[in-house]
Chain A
Amino acid sequence: MNATNSNGGHAIDVEHLVKRFGDLVAVNDISFFVENREIFGLLGPNGAGKTTLIRMMTTLTPPTSGTAIVAGHDIVTDQDGVRHAIGVIPQAFTSDPELTAQENMLIHAKLYGVPSSDRERLIRELLESVDLLKFRNALVRTFSGGMRRRLEIARGLVHSPQILFLDEPTTGLDPVSRSNVWEMIRTLREKSELTILLTTHYMEEADKLCDRIAIVDHGKLAALDSPTRLKDSVPGTDVVEAEFTGAPAGWNEQLKVLAQAAGVSERDGMVHIASHNGPQTVAALMDLARSSGVTVKKVSVQSTTLDDVFLHYTGSELRDAAQGGRYDVSHLYR
């Protein structure tokens, strides 16, 4: 596929992208597309390959094989075209702390060739939209993390890109700042023709923001659909979590036939029962435990989350995978 061909009206077309670092396959033959004006999420734990994927799409890293068409430009043969059409907010802060907010915006505007007649107006409007106008002459090193992230989003928009890439936009931010960034992303989509692709390991973030989510784990695409349909694809609408003492052998098999139960799994001593009706299943569970002499130490009911979706498609929990740090990926960030 070359840049001059139509990409079917998609903002992004990813075709069998692969990235190897020596023996490690960081991205393993991933293909998907992103519609225009969509907020598309790449959800997965640290080391899943999300950042490597976004770096390839934004021409920071060359692919080992495969390609992608971004805003009609091939990332392998037309990198310049890609760079002009996109805005990128990398995971690490890249705004210059020794410059002011205004200066950071100005330098980027010049690098993108924004006409001098438009720069001042654009910078003022963007800083105002991220609520940083009154800090325009403050050095960035005096900013909080949330302010710096908002500045970088504004900076990424100074040249009016077609597509905005955000790599873990709220990692390291406090809940209030995170909420502000979410609001900003929603507003961006409402008020512009912008297509947004973001990576995250926060399921709540993906759930609240994204039109569609691609679940990535171990460099592979595990699932791709809207948050609602992904949750619907998991058996049951609720998940009952319980911890027992004195459970006999074969206890989990008995739990499978509880009322409204759709499936049973166990991890780290906690039993997870997918259920079509959580309260009914809990009632049946308590009856069974009482009659079997099993003590229920803990029980809770919650609606199916993306964590459950992740568990269903990958066999591990997103929380645990994010905290586990199973993979040494330091070389990916060199």
Chain B
Amino acid sequence: MSLYRIWALIERDMRKFIRSPALMMSSMIFPLVQLVVLGYAFGGIIHGAVVAVVDNDNSALSRQVQEMFAGIEMGPKTFRVVHYDSLPQAVDDLRAGFIHGVVQIPVDFSRRYYQHDRPRLVFTEDNTDQFLSNTIQERVQEMVDNLNTAAVQPRLDAQVELNTVEVYPYIEYVKFLLAGSTAMAIFITAMIGGGITLIDDKARGLHEGYLVTPIHKSELVLGLIGSGALKGLMSGMVLVIIGGLIAGIPDLWNPVRLFYLAIVVLVASIAMISFMFLVMVRVDDPLVPRALFGVLNTLLFFPSGAVYPIQGFPNWLSWIAVIDPFTYTVNALQNLTLKSTGIEGIYKDVLVLAGFAAVMIAASMALFRRQI
């Protein structure tokens, strides 16, 4: 095997890549748009929901409850309150989507409260939208907890308290999504600059021009994968930096962290381009990579934990996450960008990605046809 022939192929590809701004832009624009739109679409704090209050008790205590609702309306503004006289009417409007929740103060609320007989408030939620209903329910629960707080605290408090300590400052969703967007940029570069370009060159007959030279099969495979990895590195690092600026990653220009980011992006690029190469190694039809693009994108991106925690997946989806190179890429990048870890936070992921790449490359070499 000779490095100069491998490098000649890499040089060929890089000259074409740099000359094709469309390819570079398409590799980066989609992930950036996704980062911004998804990041801010998902990351917002719920406000302005509409909650109906039905006061069947009409007592001083029920008016106190209503004041608490007003306090939320004036303060965090999670929801605004509308008053209904009729519970059935309120529930009908809830079903119709005019309101997002109904809190009923039952007719025996104050009587039960003073008799210490388990007084209740009834919260009827529209659980077709879990995000919204959970948020409203949390606010209502906070109000109930405040109601349950004794006016005079006992000298010895026998109740267990939970003190929560946040290791990191608040992480907006857009910051959380940056790792997945970077992995997406690498994948798109691997797909377009690797899979699609490879098959298009084959279909145009350009491959034949190289097969007649003394280049060995291993040199061809490594050269094509190497050039794809370099392109992935460029796209990935551009995404990390531009996306990091958009998302507001602190201390973005830390040289040590940038170095670790480059390592993760490079190894992830090699893993993804070698995976794409293996998928396309016996493909001749230029339509195949185009048809596979969307399927692979979905299959690799969403199970990776980039958008939603893996711990929330069903079993079968968890198994996809285990074998998905995106998963380890996203985890390593999240550790670096969100937690500012060092090598200890990425070495396992890097090793898995390197092992994955090695298997993909070995299989590609075995399957690649040196002759027509």
Contacts and interface: CB of A to CB of B under 8 A. Distances in A.
B142 interface: no
Interface stretch (A29-37, A84-92, A202-210, A314-322): A84-92
Nearest to B219: A111
Contact of B208 (A60, A83, A84, A98): A60
Q: Of residues B208, B212, B213, which shows the largest number of chain A Cβ atoms within 10 Å of its Cβ?
A: B212
Interface stretch (A64-72, A102-110, A169-177, A286-294): A102-110
A108 B207 CA distance: 13
Interface in A52-68: 55, 58-62
Interface in B1-58: 2, 4-5, 7-9, 11-12, 15-16, 19-20
Contacts of A84: 214
B241 interface: no
B215 A111 contact: yes
B19 A334 contact: no
A52 to B, nearest CB: 10
Contacts of B372: 55, 60-61, 334
Interface string B187-222: 000000000000000001111111111111000000
B159 interface: no
B205 A110 contact: no
Q: Of residues A58, A90, A98, A103, which shows the largest number of chain B Cβ atoms within 10 Å of its Cβ?
A: A98
A60 B212 contact: yes
A90 B208 contact: yes
A99 B16 contact: yes
A95 interface: yes
Given A59-B371, A61-B371, A111-B8, A88 B16 contact: no
B59 to A, nearest CB: 80
Contacts of A107: 8-9, 11-12
A210 B21 CA distance: 47
A110 B20 CA distance: 23
Given A107-B12, A111-B214, A95 B209 contact: yes
A88 B212 contact: yes
Contact of A112 (B9, B204, B209, B213): B213
B4 A113 contact: yes
A90 B212 contact: yes
Contacts of A334: 284, 372
Contacts of B210: 94, 111
A93 interface: yes
Given A84-B214, A113-B4, A96 B12 contact: yes
Contacts of A86: 212
A80 interface: yes
B208 A110 contact: no
Contact of B205 (A59, A83, A92): A92
B68 to A, nearest CB: 68
A102 to B, nearest CB: 11
Interface in B344-372: 371-372
Q: Of residues B9, B12, B16, B216, which shows the largest number of chain A Cβ atoms within 10 Å of its Cβ?
A: B12
Given A92-B205, A93-B205, A108 B16 contact: no
B19 A110 contact: no
Contacts of B206: 94-96
Nearest to B197: A98
Contacts of A93: 205
Contacts of B15: 98-99, 103
B19 A62 contact: no
A55 B15 CA distance: 29
B4 A92 contact: no
A98 B205 contact: no
Contacts of A113: 2, 4-5, 214
Nearest to A86: B212
B5 A96 contact: no
Contacts of A152: 209
Nearest to A60: B372
B201 to A, nearest CB: 8
B12 to A, nearest CB: 5
A99 B204 CA distance: 15
A112 B371 CA distance: 18
Given A98-B20, A103-B15, A108 B205 contact: no
A242 B212 CA distance: 48
Q: Of residues A83, A94, A98, A111, which shows the largest number of chain B Cβ atoms within 10 Å of its Cβ?
A: A111
Q: Of residues B4, B11, B15, B215, which shows the largest number of chain A Cβ atoms within 10 Å of its Cβ?
A: B15
Interface in B203-258: 204-216
Given A60-B371, A108-B213, A334-B284, A94 B208 contact: yes
A110 B4 contact: yes
Interface in A103-156: 103, 107-108, 110-113, 152
A271 to B, nearest CB: 43
23 contacts: A55-B372, A58-B212, A60-B372, A80-B214, A83-B214, A86-B212, A90-B209, A92-B204, A92-B205, A93-B205, A94-B207, A94-B210, A99-B15, A103-B12, A107-B9, A110-B5, A110-B11, A111-B8, A111-B9, A112-B213, A152-B209, A334-B284, A334-B372
Interface of A: 55, 58-62, 80, 83-84, 86, 88, 90, 92-96, 98-99, 103, 107-108, 110-113, 152, 334
Interface of B: 2, 4-5, 7-9, 11-12, 15-16, 19-20, 204-216, 284, 371-372
Given A86-B212, A94-B210, 5 more contacts: A80-B214, A83-B214, A94-B209, A99-B12, A113-B4
> Which 8 A/B pairs are nearest by Cβ-Cβ distance?
A94-B209, A92-B205, A110-B8, A88-B212, A111-B213, A83-B214, A98-B16, A107-B12
